Structure 1
Amino acid sequence: MTGLRPLTAGDAPALAALYRANREHLRAWEPDEPEEFYTVEGQRAAVEATLGECRNGRMLAWLIVDGDRLLGRVNLNRITMGRVLGGEVGLWVDRGALGKGVATRALDTVLGITYEELGLHRVSAFVRTDNLASQRLFERLGFRRLGLSDRHVYVNGRWRDAIGYQKLAPWDDGVRFRPEF
């Protein structure tokens, strides 16, 4: 059964293998990375940077897993507390797991954590205009389309447009600042 588990420092070798296996699949969607990114050493550095952001409260990072098998990544980025109470979600799934509900279950789990455990009010996401499958994923899970973000991300040699999405917490009634735990 697929699920999530927190990213750990020991995940670098498995992540390097997963990124190498999905390099062509991700080339269209993910920002360009140097060759070292696909090595164990490169992943150690990337994982440590991510874990540093997690320790500072600006990010949460999980692996999508099926038993011991890694199927992808999901992050809650740019976590903002105070009067905003929000974060931005990003995820990707192994090409062999596409179309099997893996991304839907992962994102739904992250939303539960975000709203019910962290008490955040809003989750946002940006999806490339040519990524119809991800647009359907976010819309199926109740995200509202906000509009176009021109030249949002530099991928595969050029700036790419994205559509902004948001989903408010189910406890939001327009009045309460935080949920009642």
Structure 2
Amino acid sequence: MELHLPRAHGPVSIRLVRSRDSRVLQQELLSNRSWLQPWEATSPDGPVSFDMRLGIRRLLQQYRDGHGVPLVMEYEGEIAGQLNVWGIARGSLASATIGYWVSERFAGRGITPASVAMATDLCFESLHLHRMEICIRPENRASLRVVEKLGFRYEGLRRRYIHIDGDWRDHFAFALTRDDVPEGVLRRWANGAVPRDAAAVPARDRFPSAPSAPGTAST
């Protein structure tokens, strides 16, 4: 895959993850356990090894195989979190899913929406994908704000969809197709042209109110 990276919007940038990022990323994950753990994917088979170096190696192999694009999000050149494009499907589907996490100390700086917008544009322009999806737990208010800001379209409730924090959790599904954003996701957002209520969840699918959550989506 030939990607045009890094990409930047103001102080926010995305680039491919590197093996030497493992120390910083592992440190961020460990220092953000209480912030991230309620929203992290887990395994129904039990605990898995927390080895960032091995994890990056696997992500880069998926990238070489054409199945994913592992990125880091940076703010003013400092690593702020990860964004992974995963489940890339070619052929008649031509789609992928985005997942991410951001450190608590970088929350509220617009890093996640800018990074998601740039990553989605990257997939539409460089990978020639047709559809990008983000799945979010109904309790995760911060991530719901990301899809609202960028105008991802609500597409439905997926019951007990991903194993998160020790159990199978329901998720809301949001998506954009390349036809939805001919000008690009980042440009549409920067120009204030995002359609209102695209990400609105209908009353039948809404869950009771829950505490605010960090800027994460399932990965």
| Fold conserved between structures, TM > 0.5 | yes
Size of the aligned set, in residue pairs, is 169
- Runs ≥4 residues deviating over 6 A: none
Q: Which of the two has greater strand per residue?
A: 1
Which deviations, in whole Å up to 9, do the C-alpha atoms of 1:99-153 show, x marking residues without a partner?
2101011011101101112111100111001112211211221211111111112
Residue 28 of structure 1: SS of its match in structure 2? helix
Gaps of 5+ in 1: 174-181
- Residue 166 of structure 1 deviates from its aligned partner by 0.8
Residue 31 of structure 1: SS of its match in structure 2? coil
- Residue 159 of structure 1 deviates from its aligned partner by 1.7
Gaps of 5+ in 2: 1-10, 183-219
Residue 99 of structure 1: SS of its match in structure 2? coil
CA distance in 2, matches of 1:146, 1:134: 16
TM (norm. structure 1) is: 0.87
Identity value in percent? 27
CA 172–109 in structure 1, closer or farther in 2 if over 3 Å, else same: closer
1:4-153 alignment runs, 5 A limit: 4-32=14-42, 34=47, 36-37=49-50, 42-153=51-162
**RMSD (CA atoms):** 1.8
1:115, 1:170 within 8 Å by CA — same for their partners in 2?
no
Higher RCO (CA 8 Å, separation ≥ 6 residues): 2
CA 48–103 in structure 1, closer or farther in 2 if over 3 Å, else same: same
1:28, 1:156 within 8 Å by CA — same for their partners in 2?
yes
Residue 100 of structure 1: SS of its match in structure 2? coil
2:88, 2:97 within 8 Å by CA — same for their partners in 1?
yes
TM (norm. structure 2) is: 0.72
